[in-house]
């Protein structure tokens, strides 16, 4: 054992350096590796620990050992000036629509929209649940499921939410058609046309476009790539401008992928409470962290605060189900129920009952345990490829969850122009300016990593690098 484990570690390190094991790959299980080499489990564990200490691999809870992205990766340290720009109306709708339409075109390599490839989704379990409900719940399935939505689904959602902090009653949960509708209803409940809404910068472009359609102005608060929303910049901005609401994704924001600490989440809620401003918390990626523990939510940490919590099953079960929800108490609940009714009467019944079944049976949790590691691997692999192919001066985010990568290109590259040219050659990417209401992030792009890694994808990345 004294030298054997070192030999194994050195051999694996060589294999990693020469690309036999690529970033994001899972190393063989300790037991099977030991059996295959005819050595003890302790020897293989010692070899893996040595590689872990040297930064080659990382252990993921209950999942195994994975190859880490290269050490030469340049990470983004700060993406914006530390103060908020004045509030602005939102633009960029045409490019957003082109990206969204590209997402349904099989001829295009999809690195633009944040939609997982179906191979990451539990499509068999979803199909079985949908078919089962359609068969067993014929009369209910044929009827409207009036707001606030299916009681069994709302109970399951409240039960899961209560595991991330304080208890959330099922009464507070209103089912929506995805998280996009949840955000739209929450904004409509607390703002009127012409109001200013504070958002993280960069922010999810779908949110900015909902705001634009409601006649709201965006007050962009800079966000740190790892720590999240800059609370000092928020404090300065709130002293200066009258703000009607604040929308933040504290867990695995899109596009930066940071996860705010509990202390920073509490400080955010307290700061907004001092000004009487409701928080709209977007937690659509909250179940997709790479760490051991599901992160807390602002709503869970401070259930009595003025928080409208929005999420959906689009990034986990399937975007096509279109099942999301708002959890909000007090005066907001009735208003949101009414707004949901006037917008679309109700969300489809069968998907609501199918999702309730997937939650109740435990299949959702089992699926999450498996897919988190796959998303972490996909991000590691994309990070490595970007650092390999893209020109010097490229820097990337280090997401703590989710499946998107924020890429800073050299100063002279125009991400919008790049996205247009790439699309004309069959590759979709999201240009950075979409994530700002004030034209920031011109030399940034966002890449969705939840794709099947094949020769076509590799070629698309080489093609992108050439265009840059």
Ligand X SMILES: Cc1ncc(COP(=O)(O)O)c(C=O)c1O
Which residues, 191 to 220, sit near ligand X by CB under 6 A? 204, 206
312 part of the interface to ligand X, by CB under 6 A: yes
111 part of the interface to ligand X, by CB under 6 A: no
Contacts of 6 (CB under 8 A, 6+ apart): 47, 50
Which residues, 347 to 386, sit near ligand X by CB under 6 A? none
324 part of the interface to ligand X, by CB under 6 A: yes
Applying CB under 6 A, what is the total number of residues that bind ligand X?
14
The token duo for 39 is 């050595």
Shortest reach from residue 200's CB to ligand X, in Å: 10
Helix (H, G, I), strand (E, B) or coil at 182: helix
For ligand X, the binding residue among 282, 306, 357, 384 (CB under 6 A) is: 282
Shortest reach from residue 342's CB to ligand X, in Å: 19
* Nearer residue to ligand X within complex by CB, 16 or 355: 355
- Taking residue 442's Cβ as centre, other Cβ atoms within 10 Å add up to 16
443 part of the interface to ligand X, by CB under 6 A: no
For residues 242 and 208, the answer to whether their CB atoms sit within 8 Å is: no
339 part of the interface to ligand X, by CB under 6 A: no
Shortest reach from residue 202's CB to ligand X, in Å: 11
254 part of the interface to ligand X, by CB under 6 A: yes
Q: Which residue has the tokens 């992108």?
A: 464
* Nearer residue to ligand X within complex by CB, 161 or 284: 284
Supply the DSSP string of 70-94, one letter for each residue.
Answer: PTTPPBP---S-SSPPPPB----HH
Cα gap 78→73, rounded to integer Å = 15
Shortest reach from residue 315's CB to ligand X, in Å: 7
For residues 372 and 288, the answer to whether their CB atoms sit within 8 Å is: yes
Strand segments, DSSP code E, in 192-244 are: 196-201, 217-224, 228-229
Helix (H, G, I), strand (E, B) or coil at 66: strand
For ligand X, the binding residue among 180, 191, 316, 377 (CB under 6 A) is: 180
Closest CA to 450 of 377, 350, 358, 353: 377
- Binding segment (CB under 6 A) for ligand X, from list 45-53, 67-75, 146-154, 176-184: 176-184
297 part of the interface to ligand X, by CB under 6 A: no
251 part of the interface to ligand X, by CB under 6 A: no
Cα gap 110→460, rounded to integer Å = 10
Shortest reach from residue 114's CB to ligand X, in Å: 4
Binding region for ligand X (CB under 6 A): 114, 178-180, 204, 206, 249, 254, 282, 284, 312, 314, 319, 324
């Amino acid at each position: 054992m004294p030298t054997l484990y070192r030999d194994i570690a050195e051999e694996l390190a060589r294999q990693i350096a020469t690309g036999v094991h690529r970033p994001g790959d899972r190393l063989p299980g300790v037991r099977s590796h030991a059996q295959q080499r005819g050595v003890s489990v302790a020897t293989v564990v010692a070899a893996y620990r040595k590689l872990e200490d040297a930064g080659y691999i990382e252990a993921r809870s209950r999942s195994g050992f994975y190859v880490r992205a290269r050490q030469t990766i340049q990470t983004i340290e700060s993406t914006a000036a530390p103060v908020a720009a004045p509030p602005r109306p939102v633009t960029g709708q045409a490019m957003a629509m082109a990206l969204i339409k590209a997402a349904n075109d099989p001829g295009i390599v999809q690195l633009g929209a944040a939609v997982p490839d179906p191979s990451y989704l539990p499509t068999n379990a979803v199909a079985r649940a949908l078919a089962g409900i359609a068969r067993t719940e014929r009369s209910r399935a044929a009827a409207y499921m009036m707001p606030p939505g299916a009681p069994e689904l709302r109970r399951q959602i409240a039960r899961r939410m209560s595991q991330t902090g304080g208890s959330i009653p099922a009464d507070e949960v209103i089912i929506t058609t995805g998280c996009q509708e949840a955000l739209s209803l929450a904004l409509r409940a607390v703002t009127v046309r012409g109001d200013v809404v504070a958002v993280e910068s960069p922010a999810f472009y779908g949110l900015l476009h909902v705001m634009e359609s409601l006649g709201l102005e965006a007050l962009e608060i800079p966000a740190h790539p790892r720590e999240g929303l800059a609370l000092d910049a928020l404090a300065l901005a709130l002293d200066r401008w009258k703000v009607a609401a604040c929308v933040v994704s504290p867990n695995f924001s899109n596009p930066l992928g940071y996860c705010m600490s509990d202390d920073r989440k509490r400080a955010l809620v307290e700061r907004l409470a001092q000004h009487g401003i409701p928080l709209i918390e977007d937690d659509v990626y909250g179940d997709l962290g790479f760490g051991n523990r599901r992160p807390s939510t602002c709503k869970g940490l401070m259930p009595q605060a003025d928080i409208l919590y929005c999420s959906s099953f689009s990034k986990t079960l399937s975007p096509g189900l279109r099942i999301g929800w708002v959890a909000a108490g007090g005066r907001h609940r009735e208003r949101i129920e009414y707004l949901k009714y006037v917008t679309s009467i109700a969300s489809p019944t069968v998907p609501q009952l199918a999702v309730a079944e997937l939650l109740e049976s435990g299949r959702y949790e089992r699926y999450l345990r498996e897919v988190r590691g796959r998303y972490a691997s996909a991000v590691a692999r994309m990070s490595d490829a970007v650092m390999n192919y893209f020109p010097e001066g490229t820097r990337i985010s280090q997401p703590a969850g989710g499946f998107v990568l924020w890429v800073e290109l050299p100063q002279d590259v125009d991400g919008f122009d790049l996205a247009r040219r790439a699309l004309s050659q069959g590759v979709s990417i999201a240009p950075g300016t979409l994530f700002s209401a004030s034209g920031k992030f011109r030399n940034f792009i966002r890449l969705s990593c939840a794709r099947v890694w094949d020769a076509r994808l590799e070629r698309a990345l080489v093609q992108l690098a050439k265009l840059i």
